[in-house]
Amino acid sequence: MMRVKWLAFLALAAALVLAAPAADNKPLPWEKNRLRIGQALYRENCVVCHDIDKAQSKKFGPSFYQLFKRDKMPIASMKPSREYIKVRVKFGGPIMPAFRQWLTESEIDTLIDYIASK
């Protein structure tokens, strides 16, 4: 009986987390470390070419500032998506290097989570 109550509690908690509005953009307490790791990955791999704290960048690559809130990406004329960003990070572009040899899938996901939080 106690196990059924515990499972019901976990199901309710999961439903509440999933139903929470995504608009507030405040990380949950257990996500803070993930975002710090993402920030470290950004600083180690992206900051040389990409800004993240301002829309207009004087750096070589486009700014990531509020990237996922935009109607279209800075260079490509399509709406930003996690999948597209992941492909770009893994395989690079005409000028951008590929990072698939240096970053794991999990690290790329964490990096994208950080970019999405800004």
User: Domains plus CATH for the chain?
Assistant: 28-117 (2.60.40.420)
pTM: 0.69
Q: Binning pLDDT at 50, 70 and 90, where does residue 58 land? A: confident
- For the stretch 33-45, pLDDT in tens is 889 999 999 999 9
Could you write out the DSSP letters of every residue in 37-87?
HHHHHHHHHTTTT--SS-SS--SSSPP-TTGGGSSS-SSSSS---HHHHHH
